[in-house]
Amino acid sequence: MSHGRLAGKTAFLTAAGQGIGHATALAFHREGAKVFASDVNAALMDKLSAEAPGITTLVVDARDTASVNAAAQQVGAVDVLFNCAGFVHHGTILETSEQDWDLSFDLNCKSLWRVLRAFLPGMIERGGGSIVNMSSAAQTIKAAPNRALYASTKAAVAALTKSVAVDFVKQGIRSNCICPGTVQSPSLEDRIKAMPGTYDENRAAFVARQPMGRIAEPEEIAMLAVYLASDESGFTTGTESVIDGGWSL
């Protein structure tokens, strides 16, 4: 059910092809926003276009500055930015290569920098707006095993979120990040299948660490993104919104 919470707003999203990004694109659309959804995977964008014809889809590589800048030129000024591109590296610090480090920081952090650099000037000129970045509870909030590299990138996302918040609050920019626990997604399914042991054992381990006894649905994260994107959160900036089912308690 739509309540028009984002009516009149224009939003640009990265990694909208599946998981949290996909659910958020649909939620923004239902709440009345003019949605520009992007992903590097053209097939997923075609699927989203068929599912929600009112959403404008773009093939954008968040790891390529020219691609991001071209998208910003095409879309124009926006009211809402949702930065969702990311990758979960599995392993201790001794199981990370220099290439792993570079990939994770490029996709999880530098992609954010690219999008902000491309879209923030238009938001300021427009008179303000809301930036919503995907961080994670698995960073300084909660240490998780085999997440050394991922946690480092997500802590950097939180720090960048707060830096943007304090630097541009006088220009009407709000900047917040979402810090989920484990969320159901194709990415989670891939990680479960790649782990040693059986699928059922590995999935049960993810569920067991959640005090609520279940994994979050992407739509639950999307509704928090709607709140942070909307005027309902007009006095909220520089925050880390934890939505982890009690995992970090």
Instruction: Please indicate, yes or no, if residue 206 is contained in any of the structural domains.
Output: no
Structural domain includes residue 159: yes
Task: Pick the closest to residue 23 from 9, 13, 8, 34 (CA basis).
Answer: 13
**Residue-level length of the chain:** 249
24-38, 127-141, 179-193: which has the minimum mean pLDDT? Answer: 179-193
**Over pLDDT 70: what percentage of the chain?**
99
Q: Is pLDDT of 40 > 90?
A: yes
Taking only the tens place, the pLDDT of each residue in 62-84 is: 999 999 999 999 999 999 999 99
| 39, 48, 86 from 63: Cα distances, Å | 11, 21, 10
Check residue 29 and give its pLDDT. 98
Q: Is residue 68 part of a domain?
A: yes
DSSP letters along 97-115, please? -HHHHHHHHIIIIIHHHHH
- The per-residue pLDDT for range 172-215, each reduced to its tens digit, is 999 999 999 999 888 888 878 888 888 888 898 888 888 999 99
**pLDDT value of position 188:** 82
Q: Which residues are paired to 216 by β-bridges?
A: 183
Q: Could you tell me if residue 75 is inside a domain?
A: yes
- Per the listing, tokens 């059910």 go with 1
In the numeric block, which tokens belong to residue 70? 């071209």
Q: How does residue 1 score in pLDDT terms, banded at 50, 70 and 90?
A: low
The answer to whether position 212 is within a domain reads: no
Is position 189 within any domain? no
Active-site annotation holds for 199: no
Residue 2 has pLDDT above 80, yes or no: no
How many other C-beta atoms are found inside a 10 Å radius of the C-beta of residue 91?
15
Largest CA distance in the chain: 53
Statement: the pTM of the whole predicted model exceeds 0.85: yes
| Domain membership of residue 156 as a residue range | 10-182+217-243
**137 CB contacts (<8 Å, ≥6 apart)?**
179, 180, 181, 242, 244, 247, 248
Sequence-separated (6 or more) residues with CB below 8 Å from residue 201: none
Asked if residue 29 belongs to a domain, the reply is yes
192 lies in a domain?
no
Backbone angles phi and psi of 238, in degrees to 5 = 75, 20
Chain segment 98-114, per-residue pLDDT in tens: 999 999 999 999 999 99
Strand, helix or coil for residue 147: strand
Q: Which of 105, 103, 84 is nearest to 37 (CA)?
A: 84
SS3 per residue for 25-82: HHHHHHCCCEEEEEECCHHHHHHHHHHCCCCEEEECCCCCHHHHHHHHHHHCCCCEEE
User: What integer pLDDT is reported at residue 67 of this predicted model?
Assistant: 98
Q: How many domains does the chain have?
A: 1
CA angle 136, 126, 38 (to 5 degrees): 45
Residues 136-162 as b/e (b if ≥16 CB within 10 A, e otherwise) read bbbbebbebebbbbbbbbbbbbbebbb
CATH number at residue 25: 3.40.50.720
Catalytic residue among 36, 150, 168, 247: 150
